[in-house]
Every structure is written in structure tokens, then in C-alpha cells.
A and B are shown apart, each in its own frame.
Chain A
């Protein structure tokens, strides 16, 4: 019953999406409003239909309908209810449906919210969102159908899977299906599994909307800032989810995969990082177009590039294209996905070139000075694009081209990333420190110097402390220095502006800060985000450059020491958990300088033959004490323990929290989606220049 409802809903949503595309195209051609209204209705209808389809699959999972192949393959009778829920995205077919449902939700919202404000863009927005929805629903319907059921073919006695009932087939005995159901991969039974995929999907899918608006702008020739203003908040929120998805993925790997690390430069990880890089460049670069009417081509390229990378990442992950420990099983959706990606990238590139030739993408102002805000933002774009291209080359470019050209695949190890990315990241942090202080048109060196004086001084003080406490490496000091500078600039900008307010308006400092955030949400929210990125950067530098580890075989009562930490093996506990996993738990006492710090319980889990290592962790801001139980010999009660000291790693997670707060602050509330009037625009342009010091007013132009 559920399968039939789900299948029907899926088919209807496919038809609806296709109808929407057709009607939108016809509406644009003929100029008839009622066709556009039909297109809109068909488009928004996909959301309730896909909700029915997704809800059916979810209901099937929760009520253990093992006749449905997907339910059979990701759950079994011992699966706890909670993981039945997350099993919706536990494997290919379900996660595809979930993804498509999210897309229809976003399209539904974006179309309805912007229906009156941007009528010229609507045909394009409907057409491009629905074309994408139709493609993914098509994938679900024809290649990875979540509603395929098991049927017993009486002629052969075999159980086969099919979405529609094969002639003469009957439902196989439920008992057999239930007994042989596969169940969820144990690695996926972790808190991280519950939010990491949905966060990533929200981020990926969120970028469909800015993409569709950009394509609509290109198609309709309405290349004002309308499409940017309309999607400003969408882009920020999509970016936020993508950032969260990446950070959570790292956290999950750190907690569960037992190697003390959080990022392996694995091609699938990199594939998710690429849209983040281009998306970050995009949300910065659009500011220049909004305030100065420049970088129009850049912005189109960046937003389309972001979505193109999303499609490529999805393709690479789901097609078995690359050998990665992350990749889904090889599947048939590879070729269609590749074709879709190639088509959308070609069409959008062609349109950009065409409009450029038509003169519709000219800058409203010239680049006049190498040290102007516009130039620094272009440099910013270049750095992010360079990072994206370099990472793409290492993960996909080199392996694929080498295989095509020489027949032997060449893979690129992590050494490549450790050479190529640090200089670019350092340049990124340098820009983060300098660009907020720059002005449109030209920035005098004096202005820059005055702005950076206090932050630079604070950075030197911090570096001196870091040096004195033992860090000597040039690379580390340079890294810490640039990262801290960016953070101090952000803090100083907030303080400076608040000071200006308290002086001129007599407000209390707290009122001044709140007023700042209310008046220019984007700028000050952005500073908080920069602060979060700084904290993350410090955490990454510390944990990457200064990780220390050791291992030892220990019998009961013996200890091992690393730096000033000692861990002592106290004994073993064997237990069985509710979900039938067998646990071997080591009781370990952690001491520092002779004083007991804590007791930890690293363990080895066995799920029916599949092993999982769960580390014992003691987390402080200074470092993580991370202990692995790697082996246990019962006869001698001997364990092999690994001890990792990961300095500053928790700053990564805390920095992530600051990033969330900053993004929410920067995008909250109704600063309106209406385009700015010319008067508002010029005022905003002036507003956006950093406040000058109250004393220096003569001869200092904005």
C-alpha cells in the first residue's frame, strides 16, 4: 500500500515538474501570464507530492515493510526506531529521494516568496528549478527507485525486485524477508549520521535557488542586482548548512573512525569542499556588484560554478567514479548525472559569454587602484578559485586525465594538498585581515595603516606569547600570525565603530554594539563569522602541526607516558549493548603531572563481525587527550593502547559555533528583499566604507 502511494506520488511529481518547465518556457515565449501561473502551480505542486512520496518511504521504514527493497536493505528487525528514521538517507535510493524532496521545498518557498517582487525572473526560476527537480525525480523513478518491492516469481522460484508487479508474481513470505533484511551499516549508527548528510544536502540543494535565479537573469536579460538581492539570504543559509555539514563530517570522522584526524583529503571530502570554496567567494563578491555594479561576470561564474560543483560532487560520490572509502557503491546513475552536469555547465557558460558579448555585463565603474576594495575582492575570488581548481586537479583532474591519456591511473596523495593549500589559505587569511579596512576606489596606505595598527600590535603580543610557550617553527608562527591578525581586525572594527557611536551619540558600549548589528547586519555578522574562521584556523594549525602520539602494550596496572600525560590501564569490561553490539571496554585513568585528571573508557565494538573503534576523549581548549583501544588479548589481559595528544583541536568545533552565530546574525530579520533605490544605494555605498578615525577628516575621501 505504502509503496503504491509513494510510487504514484513520485510519478505525479515527475509529470508536474515537466509540465512546469514546459509551461514556463511557453509563458516566456508567448508573454501570456496565465501560462506562467500554470507553471507556478505545477511547480509548487511538486512539493506536496514529493512530501507524500517521502512520507510513504519513511512510514514504510518505521513500520518495517520488508517487502519494499529499500527498507529491506537498510534496516532489519533489530534496528532501533531512531535509526529507522535516519535510514531514510542511509543508502542511495532513499537519500536521492530525500534530496529531491528538499529541492522541491526550496523551490516551493523561493517561487512563492518572490512571485510578486521579481516577475521578470519567474519564468526562468520556475523552469530551471523544475528542470533540476524533474531530472532527480527521473533518476529515482527509472534508475534508483526507492519503492521497488520484492516479488516471488513462481516460474523460477527466485525473489526479484521491481517497482511494478511482474506478471504472475506474488509477494514473498514476510518472514523470510524479515529474517534476511540487511540492516544499517554500523558506521552509520552515530549521532554524526543523523545530521551530517542532511546538513550537507541542505547546503548543496540550497544553492539551486541562487543558481536558478542567476540562470533566469541570464535568460531574461534582466542582469541588474535583482537576482542577487532576491537570493542573498538563500545563499547565506545554504552556505551555513554547507559549512556545518563539512565541520560535522570532520567531527564525526574524528569521533568514530579512530585515527585522530578529521580531514583526509579524500576525493569525496574534497568534492563537498569545492562548492563551499566557490560559494564563499560568491557571497563576498556579490557585495561589490551591489555597491559598485562591478564583478558581474565573476558573480555569475561563481554562483553557477558553485552549483556545477554541487552536481559534480553528487555525481562523483554516487557513481563510483573515484575510488574512495566514502563512495557509494557503483551505480547506474553515473552516466545520466554526468550528462546533466555537462549540459547545465555548457548552457550556463554559453549564456554568460553571449550576454557578455551583448554588452549586458559591463562594469559600472573602472578598477582604478590596486589597493582598492574591488581589487582585493577580485583577489579574494582568485584565491578561492585557485584553491578549488587545485583541489579539483588533485582529486579528479589528475586521476581521470591520466587514466584517459596513459591508461594507468595516477592518484595524488595527501602530500600534494599539504604543499598546495597552505600558501593559498595564508593568503586568504591575509585578505581577511586587510580587505575589511579597504575602501572603494582607492585606499590610502595611511588609512590602511591606521586601521591595522592595533590589530597588528595585538597579533605581535599574541605571537610573542606563543613563542615564549614553546612554539618555534616559522610556518606555525606565520600561520598563527596571519590567522590571529584577521580575527583581531574583525574585533577591532566592531570596537572602533562602537566607539564612534558612543562618542557621537553618547550611547553605552552595549547599546552601541547592538545598534551596529541592527544597522548593518551583514557587515557585523560577517565580522563574527571571520572571528569563527580565525578560531577554526588556529585549531587546524595546532592540531595538524603539533599532533603527538604513541602506543604501548599494557597489562593491568601498567602505564604509558607522552609529554606530561600518563595513562594507566586499570582493567577490561565486556558487555553487550541493547542493539546487540559486543563491547570490549578498557578502563583507563589519565594523569597529568602526577595528578589524576579523569577516567576514560575507550572501546572496541563488534557488530556481528564488523568492528568499530570508539575513542576515549578528554577535551579541553588546550588539547584533546584521545585514547584508542586497539587490541585486547584475553589470556594475558593485555591491551594495546594508542595515546594521541591533539592540541587546540576543540577550537575547530567552537569556531564552528561562532560561525553559525555570525551567519545567523548576518542574515536575520527583515532588512527586506526589495532592491535598493538609487538614493539608498549611494548611501549604502558610503555606509559600507569603514568608519574613518574621527580626527582625520581633512582630505580623506571615502
Chain B
């Protein structure tokens, strides 16, 4: 670089350092901006998509969840499943029962809930969705929706867990077997 005699000497290193600082600043600003955008998206998405995951009892009785869209799980009572045969739009109603969520064996817990006379029941209504193939007796239903003024849960989203048939998780011997009996291949 040519310099006129009256100009101050150019310190090449200082120029380079300033240039690098400017680049670094650009990186920093860009990074903060990006971080800010992502955080904003995550927060607004969370606020929009968050649902309390509560029990049937809480849905029906707890006032803090009244009018809110919530997520609930219950066990389906098969005999209550009704599909409106006349309506062009699919309308499904069924009743779910609460079940002991902490029970170690899910199939057993669902069985208990379905047969417990003291369990809390809740009616569910679903409109405009294909009948789920897993909707059957003792299936676990995971529903997102709102309890309406009549105490019926209007579900927007429905998911079902494959119900294990509540049979013993192990084979059982027939009644005539007892200790010491000669066990042959065709006992049973």
C-alpha cells in the first residue's frame, strides 16, 4: 500500500486485528440471533402444545383443569362402545374407567380398572375420525380433549395401547395336576 509522507504509519497488525474483531462480532451477533429465534420457537411451541397429563378423577373433579384441553388415560369398557350407525360422520362414544397407573403389570392394572365397581367412569365422545382398530374392551385409551358442560369428554386425539389379553403371563397347569403326579406328554 502506498503511503503519502504526511499520513500516519499504518500498523498492518492492528488493521488485521480490527478486521478479525469485526468478524468475531458478526459471528457473535449471528449466533445470539439464531439462539434467540430457536428459543422463541421452542417457547411458543411449548405454550401451544403443552397439555397436562392427568387422571380421570382429576379431569372430572379438579377445578384447576376445568375448561382446559388435557390429556387423560383410562381403560375402555368394551360393552359401552357405540358407533352411530345412521350418521354420515363417524360418531363414537364409549366409557373409560380409571385404573391404578402405578401397578407394575399394565395388563393387570387395566383388568382391575375395568372390573372395579368403585373406579371412576367417564364418557368419551369422538367425532370425525376413523374408528380405531384397537378400540376394544380393556384397551388403554390415551385421549387429548376437553370435558364439556355435560361431563362428557370430547376427544380430539385418541391413541390406544395394544391391550395384552389378561391371561396369565405364564402357562398354567390344569386342575387335576398335583405334586408327584406322573407327567406325561399329553396331560392337560
Which residues of A approach B to under 8 Å, CB–CB? 72, 150, 152, 154-155, 157-161, 170, 172-177, 179-180, 185, 187, 258-259, 323, 325, 329-330, 366-370, 375, 379, 382, 386, 390, 393-394, 398-399, 408-417, 419-420, 423-424, 551-553, 604, 609-613, 628, 630-631, 633, 638, 640, 642
Q: Which residues of B contact A176 (CB under 8 A)?
A: 171-174, 187-188
Residue B179 at the chain A interface, CB threshold 8 Å: yes
Q: Let me know if A159 and B53 touch, CB within 8 A.
A: no
In the bound complex, residues from chain A placing their C-beta under 8 Å from that of B167 are 180
Contacts of B48 in A (CB 8 A): 415-416, 419
Residue among B41, B51, B142 facing the most chain A CB atoms (10 A cut-off): B41
- A175-B186, A185-B162, A410-B52 known; A180+B130 contact, CB < 8 A: no
Given contacts A611-B134, A630-B130, contact A398 B85 (CB under 8 A): no
Interchain CA distance A406-B131 in the complex, whole Å: 35
- Residues in A with CB closer than 8 Å to B133 are 258, 604, 611-613
Asked if A369 and B71 make an inter-chain contact with CB atoms under 8 angstroms apart, the answer reads no
| CA A409 to CA B55, docked complex, whole Å | 11
Q: How far is the CB of A322 from chain B (nearest CB, A)?
A: 11
CA–CA, A247 and B184, complex, Å: 50
Option from B27, B88, B171 in Cβ contact (under 8 Å) with A159: B171
Interface assignment of B148: CB less than 8 Å from any CB of chain A: no
Residues of B within 8 A of A415 (CB): 45, 48-49
CA distance in complex: A154, B180 (Å): 7
Cα–Cα, bound, A415→B177 (Å): 57
- Contact assessment for B88 and A631 in the assembled complex, using a CB-CB cutoff below 8 Å: no
Residues of B near A159 (CB, < 8 A) are 170-173
Indicate whether A325 sits within 8 Å of B159 (C-beta atoms), given known contacts A159-B171, A176-B174.
yes
Q: What mask results when residues 148 to 188 of chain B are scored 1 for a CB within 8 Å of chain A, else 0?
A: 00000000010111101101001111100111100111111
B20 at the A interface (CB under 8 A): yes
Cα A145 to Cα B160 with chains together (Å)? 29
Listed residue (A157, A417, A420) with the most chain B CB atoms within 10 angstroms of its CB: A420
Q: Name the prevailing secondary structure of the A interface residues.
A: mixed
State in angstroms the CA–CA spacing of A424 and B167 once bound together.
Answer: 48
A159 to B167, CA, bound (A): 14
Could you say which interface size class chain B belongs to?
35 or more
With A173-B184, A174-B185, A386-B34 known, 18 other A-B pairs at CB within 8 A are A152-B173, A158-B170, A158-B173, A173-B187, A176-B187, A180-B167, A180-B171, A323-B53, A367-B23, A390-B38, A394-B45, A411-B71, A551-B130, A553-B86, A609-B165, A611-B133, A611-B134, A631-B131
CB within 8 Å for A172 and B42 given contacts A375-B27, A642-B130: no
The answer on a CB contact under 8 Å between A411 and B51 is: yes
Partner of A630 from B131, B161, B185 at Cβ < 8 Å: B131
Bound: A419/B42 CA distance, A: 8
Among residues 18 to 46 in chain B, which have CB atoms less than 8 Å away from a CB atom of chain A? 20, 23, 26-27, 30-31, 34, 37-38, 41-42, 44-46
Q: Is B9 an interface residue (CB 8 A)?
A: no
Could you pull out 18 A-B pairs where Cβ atoms are within 8 angstroms? A158-B173, A173-B185, A258-B130, A370-B30, A393-B46, A408-B54, A410-B53, A411-B71, A412-B49, A416-B50, A419-B48, A424-B41, A551-B88, A551-B89, A611-B133, A630-B90, A630-B130, A640-B131
Contact call A160/B37, Cβ cutoff below 8 A: no
A527 to B72, CA, bound (A): 47
- Known contacts A152-B183, A370-B27, A630-B131: A410-B51 contact under CB 8 Å: yes
Q: Which residues of A contact B44 (CB under 8 A)?
A: 419
Contacts of A642 in B (CB 8 A): 130
What is the bound-complex CA distance between A658 and B161, given in angstroms?
35
- Please tell me if the beta carbons of A259 and B130 are within 8 angstroms of each other in the complex: yes
Neighbouring B residues of A379 by C-beta, 8 Å: 34
